[in-house]
Structure 1
């Protein structure tokens, strides 16, 4: 089970770290737009007497030399909360790195979808002020830890917030996998790959591949085959206390990635061991936030306004 959510007051947030997407898309927001937003946030928070620091890469990228810049380890030790200005990809990267430090995160959506960065740029200042004054709801999200072993030796070990994905190489045939859960043989599978996702990751690649949506508070891990050869290979949700071992037994040029990062080429006999991490990430949301509101907005479940609120 995930740890119990924490209660926050205005005094909980005295040192605030700010991060932004490192490579802004010119088709969404320009560097000048993001610099303006970052400066606006920093100035408003500094006026309240709070200490405002920027991630060192963010400060350098957006020429914010007038503010204190710290590396991630320093921020992990000092910050009471981190504000992430960007899309879900930016949030994923910062969340993985700050998870060991238990720094809660607030997401401001400068991307497109925004399942995790749920505050709009247009509304950010009044919403942030309310949240940092204690009008906030919090939730815990689980992470996965993945380990790649080869001939019994650990080749790679890292965290994943969304998913661990094994996939076939471009232009090659199917990959063949043997999957065990808690030491029990589950299946051999021929497919384009396999997604192992957290509840948070159930709205990412897993959803595109036909996997189920898992509420973030659920204690589960979902396994979703990618274009399986046998239609009987279906998505399955296993307890998040499970240890999942995936062995590559066939196919050419297959690879593994963790949140679309740390790509490694796989050989026959390689094993990827996936289980829940001991770390969790805390998301802070505006008071009254609902996961179902997010799903309805992002997945366009509000196409029929005449029936909204029928059960109220």
Structure 2
């Protein structure tokens, strides 16, 4: 049977810190995965940073932009953080992504490393479930000028400084005032991000099919200030009324320092990230495994 994908790019986690793929075992894992892909009749390229870090000179190396324009599939080896970073960059190209998790089960890098040899070949031949995740487009507005812009797949978080007191934030949805909130911060999370920081702050989990966001206060001064689920058709604006050392971060991977009067404006991006999962995948099975639901049950 002919493969559905002709040109596959491999992207690995190769940062020096943490449990990246710079080890010999990680390098071997990437090489072995490349061999499995090539055996299925696919052309293999390696993301430039991954190739340089791991010495994988036997395969052509491509910058991320070149992957988007030349490859019809990206295969990410690492964790959810690695997938978040590459997903934001490749979303505008519509490049589908498969995630192989080297470590704990991830929510979006959901293929365990030890099973890829049997899981990947059917997917390369078209047996998969497609899962679209919308991105959030965020910008920081200061004196009516945009001073920072970023995409986020998980969340946009406004936080107080580590040694500062509470911040006061004016929150608007669709141009309408929601409240002035005093808290340690505020999370605006997508369904994908509802199982990340927002969940630990007491927010609900949103099914990926829901076109919505969740607004979650972090340690609010008023206990009746609770998480709320919103339609993602509405723009959310958060203005810094008071507070010191306030910052905004986007998927915890990019950060902007904020001043009093700054507005963080979040809207749904026109781009989605395309995830491919093994045939038979479903969201609730991932939750059962990741959150250890029904442990001890039949």
What's the TM-score, normalizing by structure 1? 0.92
Instruction: Find the partner of 1:208 among 195, 200, 204.
Output: 200
Deviations, residues 96-118 of structure 1 (Å, cap 9, x unaligned): 00000000000000143411100
Q: In the alignment, which residue of structure 2 is the partner of 1:310? A: none
User: Do residues 80 (structure 1) and 56 (structure 2) align?
Assistant: no
Task: Within 5 Å, give how 1:151-166 maps onto structure 2.
Answer: 151-166=143-158
2:31 aligned with 1:39, yes or no?
Answer: yes
1:133 is aligned to 2:104: no
Which secondary structure state, in structure 1, belongs to the residue aligned with residue 187 of structure 2? strand
Structure 1 Cα separation of the partners of residues 20 and 173 of structure 2: 42
Distance 2:283 2:277 in 1: 10
* 1:54 aligned residue: 46
2:188 matched to 1:196?
A: yes
- Cα-to-partner distance string for 1:133-165 (whole Å, 9 max, x where unaligned): 111111111110000010000001110000000
The 5-angstrom pairing of residues 18-37 of structure 1 reads 18-23=10-15, 31-37=23-29
Partner of 1:181: 173
Cα distance in 2, alignment partners of residues 157 and 17 from structure 1: 27
- Which residue of the partner structure matches residue 233 of structure 1? 225
**Helix, strand or coil for the counterpart of 2:177?**
strand
Q: Which residue of 2 aligns with 1:257?
A: 249
Please list every run of 5 or more consecutive structure 2 residues that lacks an aligned counterpart in the other structure. none
Matched, 1:68 2:60: yes
Aligned to 1:170, which of 158, 162, 174?
A: 162
Find the residue that maps to 2:99 and give its secondary structure. Answer: strand
What is the correspondence of 1:272-283 to structure 2 with a 5 Å cutoff? Answer: 272-283=264-275
Q: What is the match of residue 102 of structure 2?
A: 110
CA distance in 2 between counterparts of 1:28 and 1:82 reads 18
Runs (5+) with no aligned partner, structure 1: 1-8, 307-312
**CA RMSD of superposed structures (Å):** 1.5
1:120 pairs with 90, 102, 112, which one?
Answer: 112
- The number of residue pairs the alignment matches comes to 298
TM-score, with structure 2 as normaliser: 0.97
From 122, 137, 143, the equivalent of 2:135 is 143
* Mapped partners of 2:122, 2:41: distance in 1: 16
Q: How far apart in 2 are the matches of 1:299 and 1:89?
A: 18
CA–CA separation in structure 2 for the residues paired with 1:160 and 1:111: 24
Cα offsets for 1:225-261 (capped at 9, x unmatched): 0000001111011101110010000111110000012
User: Separation in 2 of the partners of 1:245 and 1:186?
Assistant: 10
- Within 2, Cα distance between the matches of 1:60 and 1:79? 19
TM-superposition CA deviations, 1:200-224 (whole Å, max 9, x none): 0000000000000000111001110
Instruction: Return closer, same or farther for 1:253/1:26 CA change in 2, 3 Å cut-off.
Output: closer
Once the 2 structures are TM-superposed, how far is the Cα of residue 30 of structure 1 from its aligned partner? 6.2
User: Which region of structure 1 is more displaced relative to structure 2, 96-105 or 24-33?
Assistant: 24-33
SS at match of 1:231: coil
